[in-house]
Amino acid sequence: MIDLMFSGQLHVYYRARLLDLDLAPGPETIENVLVRPDEIPWADLAFRTVQRTLEFWVADHERGEYPVHHDELPPPPPEPAVQPPAP
């Protein structure tokens, strides 16, 4: 579970076993692929909650233990202000 208190959200992720390799994501998914832990494209992950969940999973996988995790992410840093073009 990952709390996003700043937005009033709680994200819950589950570990499961695939029954087959027929991946069928919904229309909101641009790309999905199965990779080994050392191939995770960290810089390309769209959501901080997914990155944090995968960080937990990789550490758990290395230990061979999969406890329940609870974490809270702070608000993302503010985006830099856009400066108007000089006249």
- With tokens 């959200």, the residue in question is 9
Q: Name every residue whose Cβ is closer than 8 Å to that of residue 54 and which is 6 or more positions away in sequence.
A: 40, 45
The one-letter amino acid code at 69 reads H
Instruction: Select the more confidently predicted residue: 60 or 22.
Output: 60
Which residues pair with residue 10 across a beta bridge? Answer: 3
Global pTM value: 0.80
Domain boundaries, the chain: 32-66
Structure confidence by residue, pLDDT tens digits, 20-55: 988 888 898 888 889 999 999 999 998 999 999 999
